[in-house]
Each structure stands twice: as C-alpha cells, then as structure tokens.
Amino acid sequence: MIWTIFLLVQAVLLYFLLTDRTRSKTDPPLDKGVIPWLGHALEFGKDASKFLNRMKQKHGDIFTVRAAGRYVTVLLDPHSYDTVINDSDSLDFTRYAQVLMERIFNLQLPHHQPAKAKAMMKKHFLGMNLGTLNNTSSRHLRALLKAEMPQNQKDWKEEGLFNLSYSLLFKAGYLTLFGGEQNNNGTDPSSVYEEYKKFDGLLTKLARGTLKPEEKRTAQSVRQRLWELLAPAGLTEDSGSSPWLHAYRQAPARGGGRRGDAEESRTYATLGLAG
C-alpha cells in the first residue's frame, strides 16, 4: 500500500514536471496562478470578464494563463486581431473552424477548402461588389431609421443604445445580404431578428459544447425557425437568387457535401446570416 501511494505521488510529480511551462524572452507574460495544474480555472469560471480585466491591468493586452492544465494566450488588443488571424504560418484555424461549424450549425465538411471559401468571400464582399453592398446597406439603414422616428414627441420610445444599434444594423444587414423585397421576400426583418437574438444568446455555449438539454432543444428549434424565415429569400433553384446566395447554396457541393443537399444548404444560409 505504501509503495502504491509512493508511486502515485511520483507519477503526479513527474506529470507536473513534464507539463510545466516556462516563459522565454519572446513569449508574452506567463501567469500560472497559485494552484498547481488548476491555475486560474476557478477564477475564470466564476467571472471571466473580471478575471480578464485583472490580468490586463497586471500584464497588458497580451498574456498567457494556465487553466486546468492548459496554457491559454489571451489577446485583448483589437488592433492586433487581423495581424494574428492572418498569420497562417503560425496559426491554423482550419480544424477549429470545422469543430465550431459542427457544434454550432451541425455541419460537417470533410473536404472543406478554406482557400476557396476565402476567395468566394472576397469575390462577393470586396472590390466593386463592396461598394454596391455599402450603398444598399446605407439605403436600408436610412429606411429603418426613418421608420423608427416618431411622428411627434408623444411617440418617443426609450431603448438601450446597444439594443437599438444591434437591431438596426442586423436588419439592415439582413435586407442587404438576403435581398429583402428585391427577391419577393415577404419575411419581416423583425421576425428574423427576434429569432436570431435567441440563437446569438446560445452561441457561446454552442461553441463550448456546454448546452443544457433544454438549451439544446431551443437551439435546434431556433435553427429550424431561422431556415423557415430565410427560405423565401431566394434560396431555391428557381428563385432568381442573388450571386451571393447562389454561391452559398452551392457551397456544400464544393465543401464535400452533396450538390443540392437541402439540409446543408439551409445550414450555409444560416451561417451567412451569422457572419
């Protein structure tokens, strides 16, 4: 019995030695926490925002922390995001992106080609097409703002700045990307917005895979409802859909799915809405 305990202690010590990490000169600040292996896991789980603010005050905009045996590097400077994300030599998000697509949208693309997907996005959302999208978006935004304006002072409404901005920008984006009235889409943008808010509220847990049974049912229901609302927006073969929608509809075939697969086409449409 004594020898068993001794061997277990030695094994634990050896594990800590092998998994321990030290900071090199070129690494960001490393904060392991006071609890071996566990590190900052408890504090992060209790209040992630408060923990990250404390670490930022202590170390700056970039640092590495230990949590439950893992070392996580945190970048809080938004001006550095593009540089980090575009550094494909050091970071490869392909596998993680596939994990997220499966968790959030129930989509599996075994032959997904990120380079082609990126090229498709550039084709439809950069260059001359970007100018067209900007003009269309501005037109929809002005119309939505005009609709929100009261006829007289008695009609004033009070709403939080974030909710107002979120609502207006989402609706304008929806009308811009999905065509709105140009594609005979009779779906009220407000209906899509209300359903998407429910979906957005579950995104973090969907990504982490920590949904409760009831939340899983809600997520599935909202996904289905979003598809029903998006269906009139030109997602069928004979609807005269926009080039962007048509490209997204064909994406499952290029990504390894079956051409014309309704379920995957729905998922890609919802993915476009989330994007």
- The predicted structure's pLDDT at residue 184: 46
pLDDT score at 270: 57
Separation of CA 219 from chain center: 15
How many folded domains does the chain comprise?
A: 2
Q: Which pLDDT does position 239 carry in this prediction?
A: 47
Same-domain status, 15 and 61: yes
Residue 67: φ, ψ to 5°? -145, 115
Global pTM? 0.64
Q: Are residues 196 and 229 in the same domain?
A: yes
Q: For residues 133 and 173, what is the distance between their CA atoms, to the nearest angstrom? A: 9
pLDDT at 132: 82
Tell me: do 115 and 68 sit in the same domain: no
Residue 101 placed within a domain: no
Tell me: do 180 and 235 sit in the same domain.
yes
Same domain as 223, residue 132 = yes
Instruction: Tell me the residue range of the domain where 168 lies.
Output: 111-151+159-274
Q: Are residues 85 and 117 in the same domain?
A: no
For the residues of 72-115, what is the DSSP string, one character each? EEEE--GGGHHHHHT-TTT---HHHHHHHHHHHH----TT--HH
170 & 257 share domain: yes
What is the pLDDT, as a whole number, of residue 269?
Answer: 59
Instruction: Report if residue 259 sits inside a domain.
Output: yes
Asked, for residue 225, whether it belongs to a domain, the answer is yes
Q: What is the pLDDT of residue 159?
A: 76
Clarify whether residues 61 and 132 are in a common domain: no
Query: Tell me, what's the pLDDT at 245?
Result: 67
CA distance 247 to 125: 12
The per-residue pLDDT for 1 is: 62
- Residue 25, in any domain of the structure: yes
Residue 218 lies in a domain: yes
**What is the spatial distance between Cα 249 and Cα 245, in angstroms, rounded to a whole number?**
6
pLDDT value, residue 249? 62
Q: For residue 217, what pLDDT is reported?
A: 92
The pLDDT of residue 214 is 92
Q: What are phi and psi of 73, to 5 degrees?
A: -90, 125
pLDDT digits (tens, 9 = 90+) for 192-229: 899 889 988 888 888 888 888 999 999 989 888 887 77
Residues with pLDDT less than 70, the chain = 1-21, 109-112, 150-156, 179-187, 231-275
The two three-digit tokens of residue 265, written as one number? 């086409």
Query: Which of 42, 59, 91 marks a domain boundary?
Result: 91
- Residue 97 within any structural domain of the chain: no
Contacts of 271 (CB under 8 A, 6+ apart): 101, 105, 107, 248
Output the pLDDT for position 179: 64
**Does the residue 104 lie in any domain?**
no
- Same-domain pairing of 174 and 129: yes
Q: Clarify whether residues 121 and 70 are in a common domain.
A: no
Q: How far is CA 216 from the centre of its chain?
A: 17
122 plus 194 within the same structural domain: yes
pLDDT number for residue 192: 86
Are the beta carbons of 40 and 18 closer than 8 angstroms?
Answer: no
Q: Is residue 82 in some structural domain? A: yes
Q: Are residues 59 and 132 part of one domain?
A: no
Closest CA to 169 of 199, 196, 209, 201: 196
Nearest to 142 by CA among 102, 112, 171: 171
Rounded Cα gap, residues 97 and 86, in angstroms: 14
Tell me how far apart the alpha carbons of residues 105 and 97 are, in angstroms, rounded to a whole number.
11
CB 265 within 8 A of CB 272: no
The domain boundary residue, chosen from 91, 122, 143: 91
